[in-house]
Structure 1
């Protein structure tokens, strides 16, 4: 019974010591670990583990109070080094790889989009459709499109402006005349 009571008293004293150490050195140890890791969450893990080790070694720390701060910072540094070595030794985790976005590489979606745009272009007036085909599908400048269509460059600019507005309206489900 006496042994159990002494053990409980020692555990309370160790806990009080670690609480006092955390209050005194916790913020600076967290700042140090954050600088070393570059990650606040990882630094918090390092600090927590450092204080768990301090609790396990509370008797030794209580006997040498002048070296406690240096001991805590050394433990934190060693934990960061061990963590970096462990990460370097393991193969890359799936979340660390550059994910391939299936939507960006979905050929079917591109086909559906192309079909939707072509159907919308078919609903435009012939003049608007010809201007869009020359500029966007044949990749011609305004001057080249004007020569190919036999109209003035200003007309190509105007028609392309209204054609794009009408195309947007068609794709949005509005009637073409609503955009003009």
Structure 2
């Protein structure tokens, strides 16, 4: 998308290049073709509002489009409006359990956190996973890595801080 291209033409080109893939991606995430079309429309509207994305190189624009698609799907799953906007057949109400919705939210949360963990340096990720997810004590982590315990504490501190920033960039806010 090099050169001075009119925003509407650039957006049309972006849709032609990535629209079908975005729709397929959104459909796999939502399991609802109507919702998937709405999400893709919202993504393209956001791209139109951010001409720097439309004008960026194709790879960066594609990555941005897919990230925004994923984040919008996650936001819709978490929103109260999602729970109230879906049409419900009265006969299926007895079959619904909160654990199904909780499980979906938990899966999306794990996916979001795993994606953010990949953004950490290997040293920070290793310590954060060992301490926060495996529940290992700092002294054990230090012995395993062959570094002083103070280094593990420092890596954990800066790793968690970086993880929080990465999650904030993805739209996650603290409760």
Indicate the TM-score class for this superposition, using the shorter chain for normalisation: 0.3 to 0.5
TM-score w.r.t. length of structure 2:
0.45
Q: Which has the larger radius of gyration?
A: 1
**Higher relative contact order structure (alpha carbons within 8 Å, sequence separation ≥ 6):** 2
